[in-house]
Structure 1
Amino acid sequence: MTKLLASRAARTHRKAWAAVFAALALTSLLLGSFGLALASAGLGHARVERYAAADLVVTGDQETRFTTKPWGSDPQTVRAGLTERVRVPEGALGVVRKVPGVRAVVADDVFQAGRAGQALTGRPWDAARLAPYELRDGRAPRRAGEVVAGGGARLGERVTLRVAGADAAYTVVGLADGPGAAVYFEAAEARRLAGHPDTLDAIGVIAEPGVGTDALYGRVRHALDAAEIHSVGRRADGDSAKVRVLAGNGRGNPEFLDVAPARQGMLEMLASVTVIVVLVALLVVSSTVVQALRQRSHELGLLRAVGATPRQLRGAVGREVGRVAVRAALLGALAALPAYEALRLLLDARGALPDGLELPLPLWLWPAPLVTAGLTILIARVAAWIACARAARLRPAEALREAAPGTPRRVTGLVLLFLGVSSAGTAVLQSGQTAAMAAGSAAVVMVIGCALLGPWIARGAMRILGAPLRRFGGPGGHLAAANCAASATRLGAALTPIILVTAFAAVQLSGGATLTHAGQGQARDAMRADLAVRADGGLPDGAVQRIRQVPGVRAATDVVPGTVVLAHREAGDPRLERLPVLGVTPERLPRTLDPGLRDGTWRSLRPGTVAVGADRARSLDARPGSTVTLRFGDGTEAKLRVVAVYERSLALGDFLLSRDELLAHTSTPREGRVLVAAAPGADRAALAKSLAAAVPGTRVERDPAPIQVEAADQALGEVVTVAAVSAIGAFTAIAVLSTLSLITIGRRPELRLLRLAGAGRRQLRRMLRLEAGATALTGLAVGAVVASVPLLAFSVAMARTVPYLPPAQALVIVGVVAVTTAAGTLPPSWAALRGRYPGASPSEG
């Protein structure tokens, strides 16, 4: 019986199920593509290049840990990757060399070397065998003044290299395979230039022939533990900071230090997006299936009235939805692979992935979208069960009656709205990721609440829009107002996807745009310098002092970027937050870079102290004289005394440190710059020439760009956000189109009846256009209100400003809603408006 009902209904209602098919196919595609991205990131690793010929690599512990006990739970430990190199004691070299089965042990040090505007990587020539990179021409370096260069150099050429700010001339005696940005020195010279004679960056281990990697790993690990070899530096996690022995894909981690932290951030971001996709899919698919079955409410009621049992009704609907869901889910699963590849290409094109990150997609992972296809089918079956639950519960005598939405639905919707507003309120009291999560969850909860309150929202909107429609819309306006007022349930169903797409897109796009916009404003206000001095390979020692002595210089500040890790608790759970920071020289700082001092003094900023942004100081309850504990990029923990609190933390970061202290924990100093403020009346062109002469090998910039720190995963977050908004925006736009199409298809008998009653085609078209306009306007207005509540809380908590959405993006949202609303309302009605009806005038009929 149920099989017969399902097959007959599926053939009869093909147009209604076409909209459901589209929504389910896109659901399967989105879940499959993001699921593949999540699985690929989980399998991701650093590319193995520099140590490809080594069986094992001994390196420092590139993780920091934080353990705390949440409220009413067991202790929890979180980990975060370190972006500065943690080194190995030189004594580990001798320990590993004595291990049975080791054929060769090679020490490696990596440092920056600048040459005529080109950034180079310096290493000892012995370490080239770990790749292996071999000589193409010439010989190995034997003296301090000789080097082997990569591609682009010429044999016998004299080159001037700048290392740690000092220039020296070298002769190219050999040309090697491998990257052209590499230069190899004699071993002793490389150790001297690296600047840390008692430690090593890494140790490459090559096994004897016939010795397995697993066996050698165990021996090396045992030997290092027995000798109590630990990573260099005072670590926050104490004894756990022993040196690491890496094999397989792990050998790429010492070369690409940014990969592990970026991969961890990518996993968290993709997991968050996937959860949002699932929630949106549940809401949209449920809404679409419910609307498809609502058009057949009288048919379902008739089946109950003629004796169909609730079980037969649920079984028939379940089979009917199952047939559509299986085909749609499989189609979406097949399209998930190319969609994932498109996401990969977008990430690569925008430079959102760190150099060296490999995201594998092995063959055994290709069927993974079939799992998400199963989830899509489950979502459709659950939505169908919910949709026919009421009709299945009714007694046959009641099944044909139309019922208005009841009080439980209204109460549930109001409760969800209250919970959403409360969640947004908590965002004002939080900071960082907690505030963003509270704002995002508030938007989702409020959208669900609006979906339940759709009929009442529609009635309220018609009380506002009804009078203008009747006054300015003519007969079509009167019909539109009467139809919308009489069909509040139908209009409420049409509003749900519009509210969803408006609120979701506004929250996702405006959150990042608000922070970026506010940060750019702070950066412009903070920049006071007239000139900036830069140099490849680093500025020489004492450069800032020489610059200050140049006539016409009012103030000079050396600025270098870096990162720190803040260990703290959010909602009782441990959290490690990696933050971009700046190291500065404090003398006359506000003359060149004004952070907006609120409390304290810049004169006291020296090693052992820190300045804290106002928002972060509030969350940490920090003030001048108190202590803040930070972990530097190499994992070293330090308790720093707060000497100042400043305002412009969105541009300059949450912490300002002494330049010397930040550089002491930086393995490969990033390119810094000296900001220069000119004295009143000074000729800037002449001053730029004087600065270039005072510090040879530098370049001087006029009107330097404002400084704005950028989180390491900011580019990744922007690309993933845009991809998620585009995909889910298209998803919800299809939901708008399909829902309105289903509603209009269900109204065809009503439109034909109006034609029989004498309404002209022009009047009905005007009625439909006005209804579509009222629907779009109401959905946009409610969606904007829903988005503004969490956005206002988020922007106040994070930026102390009102939300900002670029006008172009706002116009896109309005345009998409307007076009999809019109497309879902007008074309499906054309069939009912064709032909002539009795009583219609020739011009109308």
Structure 2
Amino acid sequence: MRKHPNVTHLLASRAARMHRKAWAAAFAALALTSLLLGAFGLALASAGLGHARVERYAGADLVVTGDQNTRFTAKPWGSDPETATAGLTERVRVPQAALKAVREVPGVRAAVADEVFQVGVRGGEATGRPWTAAQLAPHALRDGGGPKHDREVVVGEGTARVGDRITVRTSGTDVTYKVTGIAEGPRPAVYFTSREAHRLAGHPGSVAAIGVTAGPGTSTSTLHSRVRHALDTAGLKSVGHRADGDGAGLRVLTGNGRGGAEFLQVAPARAGLLALLGSVAATVVLIALLVVSSTIVQALQQRSRELGLLRAVGATPRQLRGAVGREVGRVATVAALAGAVAAVPAFLGLRALLDAHDALPPGFELPLSPWLLPTPLLTAGLTLLAARLAALIACARTAKVRPAEALREAAPGRARQITGLVLLFLGVSSAGTATLQHGEAAAAAAGAATVVLVIGCALLGPWIAEGAMRVLGAPMRRFGGAGGHLAAANCTASARRLGAAITPITLVTAFALVQLSADATMTHAAGTQARDAARADFAVTAEGGGLPEGALERIRQVPGVRAATGVTRSTVVLARRETGSPRLERLPVLGVTPGGLARTLDPGVREGDIGELRPGTVAVGRDQARALDARPGSTVTLRFGDGTESRLKVVATYDRELALGAFLFSQEQLVRHMSSPGSDRVLVASDGAGAKTLRAAAPGAKVVAEPAPERLEPEDRALGEVVTVAAVGAIGGFTVIAVLSTLCLITIGRRPELSLLRLAGASRSQLRRMLRLEAAASAVTGLAVGVAVASVPLLAFSAAMARSLPYVAAAQVALIALVVAATTAAGTLPPARRALRDRYPSPEH
């Protein structure tokens, strides 16, 4: 054998033909691994290139806008300073003086000031803008002419006809305008004269943005340099005091960047999508490598005697490793390429799912450029590398031993046991760390604990199987008859085989429970807090354009109204250090009118008096107060939605922050930093006032009895739900295939054993019962270990984040158990059909 020139190639080709069924299971696992890694790789690459769609400024060469980012610089321990950046969702405005500076730049053909605000028209909402800015799209007239007087407007198609009079609600006030023209355009819009648009926008001395078009012979790059120089020379900055000093300069946008001035939510959503996909992709990689390694190792372990025989008859370690490497390489290459091809439609399916559930903000483009298509090939290479490494590890022991000892079956080593126990300890420690953390740090610690615990259980599989059989063996012998005795004996004698069977079951159970329960626990706890906080009998909301001016005071004066609270939603940015590194966290918050708040919305005050809320103060949720070491009388520093930084005095702490947000502000302070200030709705506590009288106090508003509880949702909640469901579905299906593959490989390797039992006199019914009981033992043990593994990080996570026990829907638990049971049965009984079918089988070698 040593002198054969192509012995490695010969061994690999012969083995591939003889073990096609065994490699079919490995092929499925490898192909799915390549598919998942390729799909998430494409999603990450696409999100990295993602941008806001250009609509209103498609005809402009440049757009001058405020700096929509806030920054925080800190020096990590023993490292250079680092800067964290977060997008702002409230518009940062441009000083009026910038318009003159841009118009004086050589090569500028036109510089047009734009305003953007929301108005209500005929029960819906539309975007209000000056008619002069329509040329930046450009949106041409389809009928009529432009507005010449302040009470004239141009509207989008389908809103009205030329000559009609329409009522437009702006800042809670209804005003009638005459329609002079109909303009094209993709979105509902109302165009005013420039003077009227600036008045309605409510920001004197500034504009929303400036659209710039280049004159003949001036390139975009040249014009960009000139405009940038002019703004820097004039020393113009974004309007308002900013926390980041020089970072508050104006921005000059070109190309796809122009869309960022239109859709302010896209930049924060893109950062959130990248972080979410990165986290999920890391979990996918770990689980995929674990499953691939387990499948390849199991496929080769079924042939350990064959490999040992080759070693015993003179095959060198190099020849054995080469043969196994070639054999695995052939299967893995084809599987990885098949998965890479399927990754493209899988990514398109994920993108369609995001669109169908409105998980991305309007205007968010996720491109699929041709040069991104090689990404699945890179992930296919990772899959191939993982398969080869697993193969080398699997045959390492057989290749190294001396030929005379090659046929001995090695028992699980002490090093494996110690490593597994250490990993269990580390997993429990990581879960314990989660109880001391807050927010994403707690979630990350809990997720890491799950992965470490699963790997630890995989290493301890034989010992876990031995312990399980001490519990399950007696009932199997007592109630299972001859088949039960055989099943108990087999499971006890082959603990290593049973341990390999329960590992993928543990993986799919733990992963599914953690992913489903983490979100469900937060949602359930937030819903409970929202219901506990609800006190209002009515809610008054605007149909479009905000509540009428003075509506809150008029509602308070209605006979029978005990209290009325104006509620406004916005976001703030919290700057903090984590292990010395800078971090900016975006948080949804509420602004309320504090008078009589406890009668309409009870946040569950712990310390202080929330009635003292006024500009310059803030109330802080209990967990956030603990993280910031804040209490009544202390101060916290926050950045509002427009980037303005303020030091605020804490007047109270409260319990129900999952529903009402980490911070509560006075409405008066919060609206100062919003693009469209005003109440989202008014909560009313009534002692006899009805919907009719409330509607009279707020004409045109909608009055709802027994309103839905006030509850803040994270900005990326819909996105997180879709990605989580997609990840659970994909990886859940992937691990189910892994369970099926592993059990099939084990059963295929047991065919000689089953044939020998038939020759010894065991009936088909006895062997079927034996296999069923063994499958039941594998399923029950895997489910029990999976639940135990999941419960450790879930208890820590729920205690840190929700202060409650973990929650998961009973239907989802039943579905997990049903899938595991069905998969275990499918992986055990059909592969043994041949040995059970033959009346006089001959033992296979």
TM norm structure 2: 0.98
What residue number does 1:470 align with? 477
The amino acid that maps onto 2:605 is L
Q: 2:443 is matched with which residue: 422, 426, 436? A: 436
CA distance in 2, matches of 1:652, 1:624: 19
Structure 1 residues 385-534: aligned runs within 5 Å: 385-534=392-541
What residue number does 1:775 align with? 778
Structure 1 residues 154-553: aligned runs within 5 Å: 154-179=161-186, 181-535=188-542, 536-553=544-561
What residue number does 2:141 align with? 135
- Contact 2:561/2:684, CA 8 A, preserved across alignment: yes
Is residue 96 from structure 1 mapped to residue 102 from structure 2 by the alignment? yes
Q: 1:730 is matched with which residue: 725, 733, 758? A: 733
Which SS does the other structure have where 1:603 is aligned? helix
CA distance in 2, matches of 1:498, 1:545: 61
- Contact 1:149/1:180, CA 8 A, preserved across alignment: no
Unaligned runs of 5+ in 2: 1-6
Kindly provide the CA deviation profile for residues 512-568 of structure 1, in whole angstroms up to 9, marking residues without a partner as x: 100000000111111110101111211123211110110011111001111001111
Is residue 837 from structure 1 mapped to residue 837 from structure 2 by the alignment? no
Is residue 615 from structure 1 mapped to residue 623 from structure 2 by the alignment? yes
Q: 1:51 is matched with which residue: 43, 53, 57? A: 57
CA distance in 1, matches of 2:389, 2:470: 35
- Contact 1:84/1:667, CA 8 A, preserved across alignment: yes
Kindly provide the CA deviation profile for residues 571-590 of structure 1, in whole angstroms up to 9, marking residues without a partner as x: 33211111101100011111
Kindly provide the CA deviation profile for residues 350-380 of structure 1, in whole angstroms up to 9, marking residues without a partner as x: 1101100011111122232111111111111
Is residue 756 from structure 1 mapped to residue 759 from structure 2 by the alignment? yes
Is residue 742 from structure 1 mapped to residue 748 from structure 2 by the alignment? no
CA distance in 1, matches of 2:783, 2:635: 48
CA distance in 2, matches of 1:721, 1:511: 10
What residue number does 2:708 align with? 705
Which SS does the other structure have where 1:253 is aligned? helix
Q: What's the offset of the Cα at 1:272?
A: 1.1
CA distance in 1, matches of 2:751, 2:528: 54
Kindly provide the CA deviation profile for residues 425-479 of structure 1, in whole angstroms up to 9, marking residues without a partner as x: 0100001000000000000000000000000000000001111111111111111
Q: Cα RMSD (Å) of the superposition?
A: 1.1
The amino acid that maps onto 2:579 is A
What residue number does 1:788 align with? 791
- Contact 1:125/1:141, CA 8 A, preserved across alignment: yes
- Contact 1:151/1:180, CA 8 A, preserved across alignment: no
- Contact 1:61/1:243, CA 8 A, preserved across alignment: yes
Kindly provide the CA deviation profile for residues 301-355 of structure 1, in whole angstroms up to 9, marking residues without a partner as x: 1111111111111111000000000100111011111111110111111110110
The amino acid that maps onto 2:446 is A
CA distance in 2, matches of 1:668, 1:478: 75
CA distance in 1, matches of 2:565, 2:247: 39
Kindly provide the CA deviation profile for residues 460-502 of structure 1, in whole angstroms up to 9, marking residues without a partner as x: 0000111111111111111111110100000001111111001
TM norm structure 1: 0.98
Q: What's the offset of the Cα at 1:816?
A: 1.2
Which SS does the other structure have where 2:297 is aligned? helix
What residue number does 2:9 align with? 3
Q: 1:150 is matched with which residue: 152, 156, 160? A: 156
- Contact 2:572/2:640, CA 8 A, preserved across alignment: yes
CA distance in 1, matches of 2:624, 2:476: 51
Q: What's the offset of the Cα at 1:669?
A: 3.7
- C-alpha change, 1:670 and 1:499, in structure 2 (3 Å) is farther
The amino acid that maps onto 1:758 is G
CA distance in 1, matches of 2:392, 2:75: 42
CA distance in 2, matches of 1:238, 1:739: 59
Is residue 558 from structure 1 mapped to residue 566 from structure 2 by the alignment? yes
What residue number does 1:842 align with? none
What residue number does 2:583 align with? 575
CA distance in 1, matches of 2:375, 2:289: 20
The amino acid that maps onto 1:795 is S
Q: Which runs of 4+ in 1 moved over 6 A?
A: none
- Contact 1:758/1:838, CA 8 A, preserved across alignment: no
- Contact 2:798/2:806, CA 8 A, preserved across alignment: yes
- Contact 1:82/1:634, CA 8 A, preserved across alignment: yes
Q: 1:69 is matched with which residue: 69, 75, 100? A: 75
Which SS does the other structure have where 1:354 is aligned? coil
The amino acid that maps onto 1:837 is Y
Q: 1:15 is matched with which residue: 21, 35, 43? A: 21
Is residue 690 from structure 1 mapped to residue 693 from structure 2 by the alignment? yes
The amino acid that maps onto 1:554 is R
CA distance in 2, matches of 1:669, 1:788: 45
CA distance in 2, matches of 1:468, 1:37: 50
Which SS does the other structure have where 1:802 is aligned? coil
Percent pairwise identity: 72
Kindly provide the CA deviation profile for residues 42-65 of structure 1, in whole angstroms up to 9, marking residues without a partner as x: 111000000000000000000001
CA distance in 2, matches of 1:529, 1:751: 70
Unaligned runs of 5+ in 1: 840-845
What residue number does 2:3 align with? none
Q: What's the offset of the Cα at 1:185?
A: 0.2
What residue number does 2:605 align with? 597
Q: 1:37 is matched with which residue: 32, 40, 43? A: 43
Kindly provide the CA deviation profile for residues 130-159 of structure 1, in whole angstroms up to 9, marking residues without a partner as x: 000011111110111000000111111111
What residue number does 2:646 align with? 638
CA distance in 1, matches of 2:125, 2:560: 31
CA distance in 1, matches of 2:691, 2:79: 61
Q: What's the offset of the Cα at 1:670?
A: 7.1
Is residue 84 from structure 1 mapped to residue 90 from structure 2 by the alignment? yes
CA distance in 1, matches of 2:722, 2:810: 19
The amino acid that maps onto 1:829 is A
Count of residues in correspondence between the two structures? 834
Q: What's the offset of the Cα at 1:671?
A: 6.2
Q: What's the offset of the Cα at 1:838?
A: 9.2
CA distance in 1, matches of 2:13, 2:665: 71
The amino acid that maps onto 1:759 is A
The amino acid that maps onto 1:744 is T
The amino acid that maps onto 1:595 is P
Q: What's the offset of the Cα at 1:835?
A: 2.3
